[in-house]
Structure 1
């Protein structure tokens, strides 16, 4: 048997309190207790002597585990080994202690027996539980008191550390870059990496330095997923063997960013209190930034009116002073519709993008939607708005600033075309491909169209005929009887007779191009996805 080797305990978090929770190593080193480790430390699992001790308990029961919790040290005089526990059952006794999470077992000598049973020494060595002797002159209560005093000292020290850290962080918040200084102080006091991500998921600040490229990419994906949830939430992330804690900033539906803190596994209750205080300060700072965004929003709206009025030079000068140059020509204009609850956060996301990428985007709140202006071919921001905020977007054709007003009208028309469609982008060029009548369908002409076709609808319902289907197919076939008959699977004379009957019911001469166009428009309005138009001459 040998005494404990003189090796140090694990280093605490840098710059935090040097008073650590009691461990079996610290109790063994207390000269007032005269405890002695049985066996060689090298035969124990790594760190077995450095596990924090939650409490010291004494019992001579054959099975004390119902009264123990993980992290306890058990003291016994060994009465059970002279009666209720046979020598062959010692291994089962020790196994129960190991499974319960007992940190160590202390055997009081010269009370019931002179030495520690050899079977107990062997069983503890095999189970990986540190076994130590408590000499007769050391009362069990002295061991328990030493542990309790160490626990109280550690808790008091961590409390003082937390107060000191919170005071330093509060003072840092008063500096010119209060948010950055606050995060730097948090990193210093925790001895951990700290990163702040904005509402876009992009890294805003990092201390002491950014992550490596692979970890940075994975962290951004985790942050973006957390923000996309739209709820106040937290998450633990493991990157390259290091544990990070992520915490959203802001209320549900109005998330402003995410705070990421490394070494999450080492942060105790006192450390978490400090982190929580920084979360509150960061939230307040970002909320103040929101107010600034709103003020800038009013200026942007005024500049938007100037652009519509044909004065891009004024807008260019003010933009250059405030945010950087306007996007280079040719440009595309987008009209963006989002949920009302998302409008403020979308504006903040766009403001952050403008700050990080000067000259790539101009935006403002229009009368009925957000208006974006970006270089032709650089509209990836639209995809992000669709994916994260389920935005519906109308996009103009490419133009210069001289044609901004016309481009905005195109974007708004494209947005109206997407009014009842799912989230996504509709380009004005798509509308041009549908033709003029596609706009008629959006102009509330449905009742007129139903009235025009009402005679055919009533006749079909009364007689079980297919005049509406036949006429729609006839239009789609370029008004050719043979082609329509083939599409319907009937004789060409059947198609002709149906069209003649339809003409009589409508009271119109379908031999006239103008009449055909008018009736065709009714079909377009009522069935815009199948307009009945033909690409044939």
Structure 2
């Protein structure tokens, strides 16, 4: 253990005596770690001191009568030491004067700096050497601890669940809570289980997800749970290379996190990163297998796919089920796959997914009806969902086609979920109008739109309402709040501008499709 002021005072061979009342010192003042002991009789030795140093002096700077009439001088001297972070002041007696100046004692008590006497028979060099030896012994002990901890962690990594064993061993060595958040942003494992309560755990996971979304290697220290008065200092460290992060290691506060402790954590980060990269290779292999099984299912070879899937993940989803097509940005592909793998494990065979080119195809039961919305929100994805089907045999391919049509519509609207039934309710004509007809539709309606813009008329609105009411002038007039003769004159004007006779079905259908396309 690194020496402290208290442990120095306890050493019999140094015979140091505290002359400031311990009760007048701030809490913990005697337990400050001492990094070095330095002697100086300069009036301002602070340029040569660092925080945690002990200053030894014989009081030459105070004169032979030790400032009996200059309390301000003593106060300024001690104030400088406090500002420099000096751990304690040692006064060598019987060298310049007997005893310690009373004004120095009062100043140290006032500024909260421990002051002890060093007897004449104890040279300052002995005090300095003792501090140096104790620090060296502590450094050697910490290095031995680090080597032992790294060896134990390396052995733990060789166990069947090497990653879990590594996390548990690190928790044991640091006597701290350790959590691993996977690339999908979920708490993969922790040690000890339940060692971090809510809402602190939620804040840790949320901050880890933020780091993962940025995609860059980073570390961060947060005070989780501070909002409810139970702060837990947690250090977050990303795992994996920038642009391909594999997770985040969360480390609770620990007294062992000195230089040696950080060496151990660095070793764990390397081991965890390696283990996660190996898992990534396995994930890729599983992904290729999933894609092959998906192609088999779409081709109607359900029995083959069901047999392989059963060996790997469990039975295929049971009807009624739906097919969903997910189109997520490429940068989210790996994280999306890991998220779905976790969901498959949770659902125990009631969910299947596979990659199909640039999209991911899901077979999901009604119990997972909310999953498409989760994917759209979490991964900025467009998702299309088919109608329900009652059997995997002979129906999956058509449901997949429905989902493809739905995801096309979803892409037009952004990161949303579109169900095929929304398209089918609008009819075939509405679907055709949304493909590549917009430019043609705008050109078709341009004479009416230009006339409205130039003359303040409402030909486009009138034609749309008239078609919605099946060409009925009275119903249209009532809807628009105008006379039926006004509607007739507007339709007649529209026919002249368009150069079309709108009394026939084909002309009306074509105009209706144009209106749908521009909407």
Give the structure-1-normalised TM-score. Answer: 0.85
Tell me, yes or no, if structure 1 residue 426 matches structure 2 residue 418. yes
Match of 1:281 among 271, 275, 292: 271
Aligned residue in 2 for 1:178: 162
1:232 aligns with 2:222: no
For residue 248 of structure 1, report the CA deviation from its aligned partner.
1.9
Name the residue aligned to 1:244.
234
Structure 1 Cα separation of the partners of residues 330 and 140 of structure 2: 49
Q: 1:417 aligns with which of 385, 390, 409?
A: 409
Within 2, Cα distance between the matches of 1:135 and 1:203?
A: 59
Q: Which residue does 1:312 correspond to in 2? A: 302
Q: Is the 8 A contact 2:88 2:114 kept in 1?
A: yes
| Aligned counterpart in structure 2 of residue 405 of structure 1, from 381, 387, 397 | 397
Output one character per residue of 1:149-175: Cα deviation in whole Å (capped at 9) or x when no partner: 322332233233323322332333233
* Cα distance in 1 between the residues matched to 2:483 and 2:51: 88
- Note the C-alpha offset of 1:362: 0.8
- In the aligned structure 2, how far is the partner of 1:326 from the partner of 1:366? 18
Distance 1:184 1:458, change over 3 A: closer
User: Shift of residue 491 of structure 1?
Assistant: 5.9
| Residue aligning to 1:93 | 77
Residues 212 and 456 (structure 1 numbering): CA distance in 2 closer, same or farther, change over 3 Å? closer
In the alignment, structure 1 residue 75 sits paired with structure 2 residue 60? no
Residue 488 of structure 1 and its aligned partner are, at CA, apart by: 6.6
Unaligned segments of structure 1, at least 5 residues? 1-19, 528-537
C-alpha separation in 2, matches of 1:474 and 1:68:
91
Contact 1:244 1:264 in 2 (8 A): no
After superposing the two structures, state which structure 1 stretch, 56-65 or 333-342, moved more.
Answer: 56-65
Please state if 1:45 is matched with 2:30: no
Structure 1 residues 335-346: aligned runs within 5 Å:
335-346=325-336
SS at match of 2:368: coil
The answer to whether the aligner puts 1:155 opposite 2:139 as a matched pair is: yes
Are the structure 2 counterparts of residues 71 and 291 from structure 1 closer, same or farther at C-alpha, using a change threshold of 3 Å?
same
Q: Is the 8 A contact 1:197 1:259 kept in 2?
A: yes
CA distance in 1, matches of 2:372, 2:89: 64
When structure 1 is superposed on structure 2, of 201-210 and 362-371 the one drifting more is 201-210
Change (3 A) 1:389 1:139: same
Deviation at 1:284, TM superposition (A): 1.2
Q: Given the alignment, which residue of 96, 111, 129 partners 1:145?
A: 129
Q: Does 1:187 align with 2:179?
A: no
Whether contact under 8 Å (1:243, 1:265) holds in the other structure is no
Which shows bigger deviation, 452-461 or 301-310?
A: 452-461
* Cα separation, partners in 2 of 1:118 and 1:491, compared to 1, 3 Å: same
Deviates more, 1:127-136 or 1:285-294: 127-136
Kindly indicate whether the alpha-carbon contact (under 8 Å) linking 2:175 and 2:254 is maintained by their aligned counterparts in 1: no
Which residues in structure 2 correspond to 1:134-533 (within 5 Å)?
134-211=118-195, 214=198, 215-237=200-222, 238-239=224-225, 240-264=230-254, 266-400=256-390, 401-402=392-393, 403-456=395-448, 467-475=459-467, 479-481=471-473, 493-527=485-519
The equivalent residue for 1:532 is none
Q: Identify the range of structure 1 (219-228 vs 177-186) with the bigger mean alpha-carbon deviation.
A: 219-228
Unaligned 5+ runs, structure 2: none
Q: Distance in 2 between matches of 1:252 and 1:386?
A: 24
Deviations 1:219-270 (A, max 9, x none): 4344334434433222324454543222222233432222122224640122
Shift of 1:511: 1.6
1:60 aligned to 2:41? yes
Deviations for 1:29-72, whole angstroms, at most 9, x for unmatched residues?
Answer: 33343222224434433322221123323333444444433222
Q: What's the secondary structure of 2:148's corresponding residue?
A: helix
**Cα distance in 2 between the residues matched to 1:160 and 1:40:** 38
Taking a change above 3 Å as real, the CA distance of residues 110 and 380 of structure 1, as seen in their structure-2 partners, is: farther
TM-score, length-scaled by structure 2: 0.88
Instruction: Provide the aligned C-alpha RMSD in A.
Output: 2.8
* Mean CA deviation greater in 415-424 or 302-311: 302-311
The change in CA–CA distance for 1:383 and 1:108 in structure 2 (over 3 A counts) is farther
Structure 2 Cα separation of the partners of residues 114 and 464 of structure 1: 107
Measure the CA separation in 1 of the matches of 2:186 and 2:449.
57
1:236 is paired with a residue whose SS is: strand
Closer, same or farther: CA 148–427 of 1 in aligned 2, 3 Å: same
- SS of 1:267's equivalent? coil
* Pair 1:59–1:200, CA change in 2 (3 A): same
